[in-house]
Amino acid sequence: MFGVRGSGDTSGYGRLAPPAPRHDTASRPYGEPFDTVMDALEGALQEALGPTATDAVERVVVHRGELTVHVARDRLPAVLSALRDTDSLRFELCLGVSGVHVPADPGRELHAVYHLSSITHGRRVRVEVSVPDADPHVPSSCGIYPTNDWHERETYDFFGIVFDGHPSLTRIEMPDDWEGHPQRKDYPLGGIDVQFHGATVPPPDQRRSYS
Protein backbone atom coordinates (compact mmCIF):
# COMPACT_ATOMS: atom_id res chain seq x y z
CA MET A 1 0.00 0.00 0.00
CA PHE A 2 3.01 2.31 0.40
CA GLY A 3 4.45 1.50 -3.03
CA VAL A 4 7.50 -0.34 -1.67
CA ARG A 5 9.28 -2.51 -4.24
CA GLY A 6 12.04 -5.04 -3.69
CA SER A 7 13.39 -4.23 -0.23
CA GLY A 8 11.00 -6.27 1.89
CA ASP A 9 10.50 -3.26 4.14
CA THR A 10 6.81 -3.16 4.99
CA SER A 11 7.04 -0.12 7.30
CA GLY A 12 6.74 2.35 4.43
CA TYR A 13 9.36 4.53 6.11
CA GLY A 14 11.42 5.07 2.98
CA ARG A 15 8.52 5.85 0.65
CA LEU A 16 5.87 7.54 2.78
CA ALA A 17 6.05 11.33 2.43
CA PRO A 18 4.81 12.99 5.64
CA PRO A 19 2.70 16.13 5.34
CA ALA A 20 4.49 19.44 5.76
CA PRO A 21 4.23 20.89 9.28
CA ARG A 22 1.39 23.35 9.69
CA HIS A 23 2.33 26.96 10.43
CA ASP A 24 -1.09 28.52 10.18
CA THR A 25 -2.22 30.94 12.88
CA ALA A 26 -5.88 31.48 13.65
CA SER A 27 -7.29 34.95 14.28
CA ARG A 28 -10.35 36.07 16.20
CA PRO A 29 -13.13 35.18 16.26
CA TYR A 30 -12.08 31.56 16.78
CA GLY A 31 -15.66 30.39 17.36
CA GLU A 32 -17.18 29.16 20.58
CA PRO A 33 -16.12 27.84 23.01
CA PHE A 34 -12.61 28.82 21.91
CA ASP A 35 -13.22 32.58 22.24
CA THR A 36 -14.45 32.07 25.79
CA VAL A 37 -11.41 29.96 26.65
CA MET A 38 -8.92 32.43 25.19
CA ASP A 39 -10.63 35.45 26.80
CA ALA A 40 -10.44 33.78 30.20
CA LEU A 41 -6.84 32.64 29.66
CA GLU A 42 -5.64 36.06 28.53
CA GLY A 43 -7.38 37.71 31.49
CA ALA A 44 -5.81 35.29 33.96
CA LEU A 45 -2.35 35.75 32.45
CA GLN A 46 -2.70 39.52 32.53
CA GLU A 47 -3.52 39.33 36.23
CA ALA A 48 -0.64 36.92 36.96
CA LEU A 49 2.10 38.33 34.72
CA GLY A 50 1.16 41.94 34.16
CA PRO A 51 2.55 43.66 31.04
CA THR A 52 4.63 40.61 30.09
CA ALA A 53 1.48 38.49 29.63
CA THR A 54 1.46 39.28 25.91
CA ASP A 55 4.67 37.25 25.52
CA ALA A 56 3.12 34.05 26.86
CA VAL A 57 0.99 32.95 23.89
CA GLU A 58 2.95 32.78 20.64
CA ARG A 59 0.08 31.75 18.38
CA VAL A 60 -3.27 30.00 18.36
CA VAL A 61 -4.26 27.25 15.94
CA VAL A 62 -7.79 26.00 15.35
CA HIS A 63 -7.78 22.87 13.22
CA ARG A 64 -10.42 20.17 12.81
CA GLY A 65 -12.46 21.57 15.65
CA GLU A 66 -9.57 21.52 18.13
CA LEU A 67 -7.79 24.41 19.86
CA THR A 68 -4.00 24.43 20.22
CA VAL A 69 -2.26 27.21 22.15
CA HIS A 70 1.44 27.58 21.39
CA VAL A 71 3.24 29.14 24.35
CA ALA A 72 6.74 30.36 25.16
CA ARG A 73 8.56 27.77 27.24
CA ASP A 74 9.43 30.14 30.10
CA ARG A 75 5.72 30.98 30.43
CA LEU A 76 4.51 27.37 30.38
CA PRO A 77 4.02 27.06 34.17
CA ALA A 78 1.99 30.28 34.27
CA VAL A 79 -0.20 29.17 31.35
CA LEU A 80 -0.85 25.72 32.81
CA SER A 81 -1.60 27.17 36.24
CA ALA A 82 -4.06 29.65 34.72
CA LEU A 83 -5.79 26.91 32.74
CA ARG A 84 -6.12 24.76 35.86
CA ASP A 85 -7.04 27.36 38.49
CA THR A 86 -9.24 29.93 36.71
CA ASP A 87 -12.88 29.28 37.58
CA SER A 88 -14.13 29.75 34.02
CA LEU A 89 -11.47 27.37 32.66
CA ARG A 90 -10.86 24.60 35.21
CA PHE A 91 -8.75 22.24 33.10
CA GLU A 92 -8.24 19.95 36.07
CA LEU A 93 -6.87 16.97 34.16
CA CYS A 94 -3.77 16.67 32.02
CA LEU A 95 -4.10 13.55 29.89
CA GLY A 96 -0.37 13.36 29.19
CA VAL A 97 2.72 14.92 27.65
CA SER A 98 3.61 13.95 24.09
CA GLY A 99 6.87 14.56 22.28
CA VAL A 100 7.23 15.45 18.61
CA HIS A 101 10.42 15.73 16.57
CA VAL A 102 10.21 17.97 13.49
CA PRO A 103 13.71 18.24 11.93
CA ALA A 104 12.35 20.46 9.12
CA ASP A 105 11.39 23.20 11.62
CA PRO A 106 14.73 24.96 12.33
CA GLY A 107 15.03 26.31 15.85
CA ARG A 108 11.82 24.53 16.89
CA GLU A 109 12.72 20.90 16.23
CA LEU A 110 11.38 19.48 19.50
CA HIS A 111 7.79 19.95 20.64
CA ALA A 112 6.22 19.08 23.99
CA VAL A 113 2.44 18.78 23.74
CA TYR A 114 0.07 18.84 26.73
CA HIS A 115 -3.49 17.54 26.37
CA LEU A 116 -5.80 19.15 28.93
CA SER A 117 -9.38 18.30 29.81
CA SER A 118 -11.91 20.28 31.84
CA ILE A 119 -14.26 17.93 33.65
CA THR A 120 -16.15 20.91 35.05
CA HIS A 121 -16.93 22.52 31.68
CA GLY A 122 -16.58 19.53 29.34
CA ARG A 123 -13.87 21.07 27.17
CA ARG A 124 -10.45 20.16 25.88
CA VAL A 125 -7.44 22.24 24.86
CA ARG A 126 -3.96 21.44 23.66
CA VAL A 127 -0.89 23.39 24.83
CA GLU A 128 2.30 23.13 22.81
CA VAL A 129 5.86 24.30 23.49
CA SER A 130 8.60 24.27 20.84
CA VAL A 131 12.33 24.32 21.63
CA PRO A 132 15.51 23.99 19.55
CA ASP A 133 17.34 20.69 19.32
CA ALA A 134 20.46 22.43 20.63
CA ASP A 135 18.67 23.58 23.80
CA PRO A 136 15.97 20.99 24.56
CA HIS A 137 14.91 22.36 27.96
CA VAL A 138 11.28 22.81 29.07
CA PRO A 139 10.04 23.60 32.62
CA SER A 140 8.54 20.56 34.33
CA SER A 141 4.79 20.59 34.89
CA CYS A 142 4.83 18.02 37.71
CA GLY A 143 4.20 20.69 40.33
CA ILE A 144 0.97 21.65 38.54
CA TYR A 145 -0.15 18.25 37.23
CA PRO A 146 1.57 15.58 39.39
CA THR A 147 0.45 12.78 37.05
CA ASN A 148 2.83 14.18 34.41
CA ASP A 149 5.75 12.67 36.33
CA TRP A 150 5.92 9.49 34.24
CA HIS A 151 4.74 11.21 31.05
CA GLU A 152 7.67 13.63 31.18
CA ARG A 153 10.06 10.76 31.85
CA GLU A 154 8.75 8.93 28.78
CA THR A 155 9.05 12.04 26.60
CA TYR A 156 12.61 12.54 27.85
CA ASP A 157 13.40 8.87 27.24
CA PHE A 158 12.11 8.77 23.67
CA PHE A 159 12.74 12.34 22.44
CA GLY A 160 15.47 13.82 24.66
CA ILE A 161 13.43 16.77 25.93
CA VAL A 162 14.83 17.78 29.33
CA PHE A 163 12.15 18.83 31.82
CA ASP A 164 13.85 21.20 34.25
CA GLY A 165 12.68 20.77 37.83
CA HIS A 166 11.41 17.22 37.40
CA PRO A 167 11.91 15.30 40.67
CA SER A 168 13.61 12.32 39.01
CA LEU A 169 14.14 12.67 35.27
CA THR A 170 15.44 9.22 34.36
CA ARG A 171 14.63 6.79 31.57
CA ILE A 172 11.40 4.90 32.10
CA GLU A 173 11.35 2.26 29.32
CA MET A 174 14.81 2.07 27.80
CA PRO A 175 17.79 0.86 29.87
CA ASP A 176 19.61 3.57 31.81
CA ASP A 177 22.72 3.24 29.64
CA TRP A 178 20.85 3.34 26.31
CA GLU A 179 22.33 5.82 23.83
CA GLY A 180 20.00 8.07 21.88
CA HIS A 181 16.25 8.63 21.89
CA PRO A 182 14.35 6.04 19.81
CA GLN A 183 11.36 8.09 18.62
CA ARG A 184 13.34 10.91 17.07
CA LYS A 185 13.31 11.08 13.28
CA ASP A 186 17.12 10.91 13.14
CA TYR A 187 17.27 7.67 15.13
CA PRO A 188 18.49 4.74 12.96
CA LEU A 189 15.80 2.44 11.63
CA GLY A 190 17.08 -1.05 12.38
CA GLY A 191 20.65 -2.26 12.70
CA ILE A 192 20.61 -1.48 16.44
CA ASP A 193 22.06 -3.95 18.93
CA VAL A 194 19.37 -5.43 21.14
CA GLN A 195 21.21 -5.17 24.43
CA PHE A 196 18.94 -7.57 26.29
CA HIS A 197 19.91 -10.64 24.24
CA GLY A 198 23.02 -9.65 22.35
CA ALA A 199 21.16 -9.95 19.03
CA THR A 200 20.85 -7.36 16.27
CA VAL A 201 17.97 -6.07 14.20
CA PRO A 202 19.03 -5.87 10.53
CA PRO A 203 18.37 -2.71 8.52
CA PRO A 204 15.14 -2.75 6.49
CA ASP A 205 16.86 -3.54 3.20
CA GLN A 206 18.42 -6.67 4.70
CA ARG A 207 15.31 -8.12 6.27
CA ARG A 208 13.56 -11.16 4.88
CA SER A 209 11.28 -10.50 1.95
CA TYR A 210 7.96 -12.33 1.90
CA SER A 211 7.10 -11.50 -1.70
Q: Where are the domains of the chain?
A: 34-178
Residue 20 has pLDDT above 90, yes or no: no
DSSP string, the chain: -----SS---S-TTT--PPPPP-----S---TTHHHHHHHHHHHHHHHHGGGGGGTEEEEEEETTEEEEEE-GGGHHHHHHHHHH-TTT---EEEEEEEEE-TTSTT--EEEEEEEEETTTTEEEEEEEEE-TTS-EEE--TTT-TTHHHHHHHHHHHH--EEET-TT---SSS-TT--S-TTSTTS-SS--EETTTTEEPPPGGGSPP--
Residue 75 has pLDDT above 80, yes or no: yes
Cβ atoms of 166 and 149 within 8 Å: the answer is yes
What does the pLDDT average to over 79-99? Answer: 97
Residue 201 confidence (pLDDT): 67
CATH 3.30.460.80 fits 34-178, yes or no: yes
What does the pLDDT average to over 25-39? Answer: 93
Residue 208 has pLDDT above 80, yes or no: no
The residue ranking higher by pLDDT, 155 or 22, is 155
Note the pTM of the prediction, 2 decimals.
0.80
Percent of the chain with pLDDT over 90: 69
What does the pLDDT average to over 96-121? Answer: 95
What does the pLDDT average to over 79-103? Answer: 96
Mean pLDDT of the chain: 87
